[in-house]
Amino acid sequence: MKILAVDDEPFIREMIPLMAVRAGFPDVKIAPSGQAALDMLVNAEPAFDCLLLDINMPEIDGIELCRMVRQMKEYRQTPIIMLTAMSDKQFIDRAFQAGASDYATKPFDLTELGARLRMAKDLITARREAATLRHASSRSSDANLELTESLEIAGVPKLVDLAALKNYLSQLSRAGVSASQVAAFGLDQVKDLKAKASAEELNYALHEVASAISFVLAPRLSLMAYCGGGIFLVVSSAATQLDCKDLESEVQHFLDDRNLQYDDGSPMTFDILMGAAIRPMSADLEEIDRTITRAVARLKARSQAQSNRVVPPSIR
C-alpha cells in the first residue's frame, strides 16, 4: 500500500514512516505542507493508496486539503486518515464531512496507527473486489442489478461511505459525545425499482433519495451513508428524538415534487419509510455494527407494519 503522510511538524514527519514500517507498511512518502502534497498527488505514478493528513497546518489545513483531494478523480474514494490532537466534535464533523475516512488523535501509538492502516488496506481490497464484480456484471447481457453498498452516489452533501460513517460514530464515542442518534431511511418498493430500472436509472433514483434526505434533514444531519438494499443510514446530533413519521413524510413530499421518471418517460414512484432512531452506546466497532443492524431492523419493522395495515373501506 502506497501511503502519503502530510504534516508540518518535523518530528511527526520522522516518526510516521518508522511506525508505518513496524506496522508492515514500508512504502511511505512525506509532504511538509498541503501544497507540497497536492503537487505529489498530481504527479504520482501510480496514485497513492492511502493518505494521512494533519489537520492543523498553515495555509492549507488538513480539512481543506481533504476537500480538495476528494475533487480529484483518482482520489475520490482513497482512504484518508486525519491526524490531529483535536478531539472536539466540531473538528470531527468537519473532517468527515470533507471526506475523511478515519480519524486518529495525537499522540497516537504503533498499535493504533497500524490498526487504522490495516482497516484502510481492507477497505481498498473490498472496493477493488466490488469493482471487479461490477465490471463482470456490466459485461453480462442478463446482468442482475444489485442495490449494493458498493454503488457510488456522488455529489450529495454529507454523504460518505459506510466505513467512514462507522469510524465517525466511533470517534464521537471516544470524544465523549453521546447525543448522536442513528436512523435508517429506505425505499419501500425497492424490489419493483430494481426489477424495472437500468443501472443509470437506479443510480439516478438513489441520488434523488439521498438528495431529498440531505435537504430535509440539513439542519440536523451530521453524516449519511448508503448501506445497500435501498437503505440510507443517517447520523444526527439533534437534541430531541427524530420524528420518523414527520421526516419520512417530508422526504416523500420532496421526491413527489421532483416528478421522477424512467428514461421512457413513465413515472418513477416509490414510498419512503424511516425507522425509529437509536443512540449508539460505545466506540467499539462491533457495538456500532449492532447499532446499525438495529436501526435497519426498525426500518424493516416499520415497513412490515405498513404492509400489514388494513385500509378501511371508503364511505360512499
pLDDT for 224 equals 95
pLDDT for 216 equals 96
Rounded Cα–Cα distance for residues 75 and 98 (Å): 13
135: CB partners within 8 A, 6+ apart: none
CA atoms within 13 A on the CB side of 233: 31
Which regions of the chain carry the CATH code 3.40.50.2300? 1-142
pLDDT for 192 equals 81
| Domain 145-316 indexed as CATH 3.30.70.270 | yes
26: CB partners within 8 A, 6+ apart: 20
pTM for this predicted structure: 0.85
Rounded Cα–Cα distance for residues 54 and 6 (Å): 6
Taking the alpha carbons of 13, 14, 16, 21 in that order, is the dihedral positive or negative? positive
| Domain 1-142 indexed as CATH 3.40.50.2300 | yes
Rounded Cα–Cα distance for residues 16 and 29 (Å): 10
The whole-number mean pLDDT for each consecutive block of 10 residues of the chain, a chain of 316 residues, reads 95 93 95 96 94 94 95 93 85 92 84 90 84 58 51 84 91 69 90 84 92 94 92 92 93 94 91 92 82 94 78 45
Rounded Cα–Cα distance for residues 211 and 216 (Å): 9
Which regions of the chain carry the CATH code 3.30.70.270? 145-316
pLDDT for 303 equals 86
Q: Tell me, what amino acid is at 33?
A: S
pLDDT for 153 equals 81
pLDDT for 309 equals 67
Rounded Cα–Cα distance for residues 93 and 6 (Å): 20
224 contacts 160 by C-beta, under 8 angstroms: yes
Cell numbers given for 68: 480538495
